[in-house]
Structure 1
Amino acid sequence: MLAKLGFGMGAEQAATNSHVLHISTSPDAILRLMKTQPLPNTWTPRVLGVDDWAIRKGQTYGTILIDLERHQVIDVLKDRSTAVLRDWLKAHPGIEIVTRDRASDYSRAVTEAAPKALQVADRWHLLCNISGLVREWILRERTKWKEVISTVKTELREPESSNKIGRKTGEGRRQQYQEVMLLGKAGGTYKEIAAQTGIPYATVRWWLRGDGSPDDRSPLSESHRDKIKACWTAGIDSSLEILRQLKEMGYTGSVDPVRRLLYHLDLEQGLQGRSVPARPRAHRRDFNTTALTRLLTMPKSFLADKDQRFVNLVCAGDREIAAGYALIQRFRNMFLNLTVDNKVNLQSWLSEAARSTVVELRQFAASVERDFGAVSAALTLHWSNAQTEGQVNKLKLIKRRHFGRASFELLRRCVLLA
């Protein structure tokens, strides 16, 4: 290996070998080598997956074609226009099913070149579309949403249950732990135990999985407090430095109690600006636009009880929000069970969405109406573009391996010969 790199050679020989090494690893040399390899013959698949990929992001795009039954790349095209895909489809007649995103160029190409093929829209893109319209709706009427949510937050501050145990420390926390473990052995689910005991769902899951217990993180003992006060008196106000010294004493807790005690010590001496209290945990109902969009587009059965109550209160606060949310949930629930009945359900949904007072829902319904065949097929068949997206990701990895300098022909050969 050292000899190949030029070590232990004369200057002339080393220079020659260096030139050969440079040529042998250049993209042109690799392309010449790849060109000597015969490409596999293209074939006509029964189920074709079509998607675009970026040759130069934001500038030029190509098209990748996948045999979804064989899980193989058939071909890579240099453009994503209607004409390029149409010509390829005409050269490969007999395709029965085509899965694609909702791009109009691909839709026209399949309609013109393979009119008998069944087009299937990708479900992931449909879910992205419904999430996008909800986000636009919230942003357009942000004032109304803020008013409704502020009212809901006021109602949620009231205790939800009179028998709720709440947060405990020390022996009380250990009793809660024992109760959770007994309920878990009796066959209770995380959700049932959390509702029965009032302990947060995440804590119940943490304990029952055996990931920890109340004794794993001991509170500040008197010796720990004395150590913190001694450090504070000595002028050490770094909570992380004090935490390091506490851990040498066997402390297993977090830095938050240390910061809290330092803050109160400063308050007693009128030094409020020297330290800050432990960062308060954000309230779960301080939703931003992204979180609110997720709650409105997620099926009700997937939401926690508190989140369901929040959504119900928001819908109760405004009639238009309630009607729009009902339509969103009806469309979203069709993805949970792919049956032939969804075609009739989709027709009924479109007629109601077209009369909605929410502008974004009417626009989305109009776009689905124009692509009704592909969308209804997506809600009745199991085929989707998920596998095609995976092949696009593989193509991106090949691009990165060549540092983005490979030509289209080199990339195409690397993908087809992979």
Structure 2
Amino acid sequence: MRAGAGTCPRCGAESTRVHGRYDRTVRDSTVGGAEVVIRLRIRRFRCPDPTCPAVTFAEQIPGLTSPHGRFSLPRKEAMTAIARALAGRAGARLARLLGMPVNRMTLLRALRALPGPELATAPANLGVDDFALKRGNVYGTVLLDMDTHRPVDLLPGRTSSAFAGWLKEHPGARVICRDRSGSYADGARIGAPAALQVADRFHLWQNLTEVVDKTVRAHRSCLVEAPLRACEAETVEPSDTPAPEMRDVNGGERRLVVRTIERHAAVHALLAEGYSLNAISRRLGLVFRTVRRFAQAANAEELLVGALHRPSKLDDFKPYLNQRWNEGCRTSAELHEEIREHGWTGSVSTVRRYVRTCLGGAEVAPTSLPSPKPRHITGWIMSHPQGLDPGEAVRLKVVLDQCPELDALAGHVRDFAQMMVHREGHRLDGWIAAASAEPLPALRSFARSLSHDHAAVRAGLSLPYSSGAVEGTVNKIKMLKRQMFGRASFDLLRIRVLYPL
């Protein structure tokens, strides 16, 4: 039934004066997989208010048409839902299969037409984390309501000023869950000084894992007993000959080893003469960080641990190679063919290099088991004792018995894990004091960083708040970025994150 009057969309006045009529075509949703096209005869009314800027206006059918719209409202809602789920190209392909052919740019325009979030105040429990738009170059910030686990906003960049400005514009945050980033700590302190900052336990544990990994790699040389080392038989290597790890495949000293020893000696000689680190950097032509690293090392061996004791995929086959070498098999090609039958997939050059550098003498000491890889030891130390296999528990005990420093480190890790699991934040000061007393640079540095962020760390170890939901949202953003390959601009990404299906 046709209405007798039309309502002006500008001033709201009703009009019965018909100015004219025209035909209009509207594409509706599909019926049985077939596209539906509705043809309408639309009346144009004259507005009775002489002050209204709209002289004439066209009537609209409620629930079906919109001004200047080529699609019906139900179809437009369906297309917007497809765009929110799949964006441009993928959404256009799906819409075509559903009988609603549409251009990808139309879907992107539908996304951009969505209204922005109307947020007057920040959530009481706010989570914040960064995500990469271009890894290593461009980053953004995601803000989350920790009660509903829904994102509330995305900010370009991850600076403290941007975060502080958002908090000032949206007051009301009482708890801010964040990672160990200093920029978010400064932004929260400036934008919401009354809010309680909570350092996420996952990031604390991740930082501690990095400490353990660095320490294990620094003590790589302690992980193998002297009688079991294939390259340290006294009958093979004279005392004045460099260790096999320090030689190249031709028997000469490795250039890395020689250069590191010379630079370490030069840096410490200039330090003894009273030169500053900046002056040494200019004099030797080295980066300041490199000079500082050499200056902090007591000897060159500390700097060469990672290079001289690097794990190799040949480690599991070294016991067999040593045994066959002692039995008289001295050909690299023959040894290579034999270990291929045991699962070796590497090249013969790797076997030849090991034979030349470590098995060049008349006889070597037999080995029983290769030393465990640093990443395995790190995993064992960071795992709950009840979660280890019996064999892993035994190998970990052997490692800790060989290296007192790693044994002490494992004890501090267990104490920290107990403090974190049982929410015993009151023990933090004691743990920091005990860790700072250990002769482990990485552990002392970690303890010092906890002291600088003491209030947030203690809150994270005492309160039930966590940034797990924020990390899940960051993973979702990564998925959306890959799905929007070629169209992953910030405004489109922000809309898709804030308007999930």
Normalising by the residue count of structure 2, what TM-score does the alignment of the two structures yield? Answer: 0.51
The SS at the match of 2:114 is: coil
Please list the CA deviations of residues 196-222 of structure 1 after superposition, one character each: whole Å capped at 9, or x if unmatched. xxxxxxxxxxxxxxxxxxxxxxxxxxx
Distance of 1:111 and 1:149 partners within structure 2: 57
1:310 maps to what in 2? 395
Q: Post-superposition shift, 1:322?
A: 2.2
Q: What is the CA distance between 1:319 and its match in structure 2?
A: 2.8
Distance 1:120 1:306, change over 3 A: same
**Counterpart of 1:347?**
429
For residues 41-88 of structure 1, give each alpha carbon's deviation from its aligned partner in whole angstroms, at most 9, with x where no partner exists: 224211111011111121110000000101111001111111110000
Query: Residue deviations 1:212-245, cap 9 Å, x none?
Result: xxxxxxxxxxxxxxxxxxxxxxxxxxxxxxxxxx
- In 2, Cα distance between equivalents of 1:306 and 1:276: 26
1:33 paired to 2:110: yes
- Return the alpha-carbon distance in structure 1 between the equivalents of residues 123 and 227 of structure 2: 52
Query: Secondary structure at 2:420's aligned position in 1?
Result: coil
The question of 1:145 aligning with 2:229 is answered: no
Equivalent residue number for residue 403 of structure 1: 485
2:153 is the alignment partner of 1:85: no
**1:274 shift after superposition:** 10
Residue 126 (1) aligns with residue 208 (2): no
* Contact 1:149 1:314 survives alignment (8 Å): no
State the one-letter code of the partner of 1:106. Answer: Y
For residues 296 and 274 of structure 1, the distance between their equivalents in structure 2, rounded to whole angstroms, comes to 35
1:131-171 deviation line (CA, Å, top 9, x unaligned)? 111111122232123348959xxxxxxxxxxxxxxxxxxxx
For 1:333 and 1:33, the matched residues in 2 are separated by 51
Runs of 4+ in 1 over 4 A off after TM superposition: 1-4, 21-24, 148-151, 272-276, 283-286
CA contact (8 A) 1:327 1:353 kept: yes
Pick aligned residue for 1:98 from 170, 173, 176: 176
Taking every aligned residue pair, what percent have the same amino acid on both sides?
A: 32
- The yes-or-no answer on 1:358 pairing with 2:440 is yes
Quote the residue 1:393 is aligned against.
Answer: 475
For CA contacts below 8 A with separation 6 or more, give which structure has more relative contact order: 1
CA-based RMSD = 3.1
Equivalent position of 1:161 in the other structure: none
> Normalising to structure 1: TM-score of the pair?
0.60
**Are 1:45 and 2:127 an aligned pair?**
no
Q: Secondary structure at the match of 2:224?
A: helix
Contact 2:224/2:371 (8 A) holds in 1: no
CA contact (8 A) 2:425 2:462 kept: yes
1:201-280 matches, cutoff 5 A? 277=341, 279=343
Q: 1:148, 1:317 within 8 Å by CA — same for their partners in 2?
A: no
Q: How does 1:364-383 map to 2 (within 5 A)?
A: 364-383=446-465
Extract unaligned runs of 5+ from structure 1. 5-20, 152-271
Q: Which runs of 5+ in 2 are unaligned?
A: 1-29, 36-91, 94-100, 230-335, 345-367
The structure where helix makes up a greater share of residues is 1
Q: How does 1:35-74 map to 2 (within 5 A)?
A: 35-42=112-119, 43-74=121-152
Change in 2 beyond 3 A, CA 1:398/1:144: same
Inter-CA distance 298–150: structure 2 relative to 1 (3 Å threshold): farther
Bigger strand share = 2
Report the alpha carbon displacement of residue 121 of structure 1 after superposing the two structures with TM. Answer: 1.2
Q: Distance in 2 between matches of 1:63 and 1:99?
A: 13
Check whether the contact 2:220–2:374 (CA below 8 A) recurs between aligned residues: no
- Aligned partners of 1:285 and 1:336: how far apart in 2? 34
Which residue of structure 2 lines up, in the alignment, with residue 334 of structure 1? 419
In 2, Cα distance between equivalents of 1:123 and 1:67:
18
- Per the TM alignment, residue 40 of structure 1 is displaced from its structure 2 partner at its CA by 3.2
1:291 maps to: 376
Cross-structure match for 1:114:
192
| Aligned-pair CA distance for 1:318 | 3.2
CA–CA distance in 2 between the matches of 1:286 and 1:321? 15
What SS is found at the alignment partner of 1:379?
helix
- The separation in 1 between residues aligned to 2:404 and 2:219, in whole angstroms, is 14
Amino acid across the alignment from 1:329: R
Secondary structure of the 1:50 match is strand
Q: For 1:130 and 1:291, locate their aligned partners in 2 and report how far apart those are by CA, in whole Å.
A: 15
User: How many residue pairs get matched?
Assistant: 277
Amino acid at match of 1:133: V
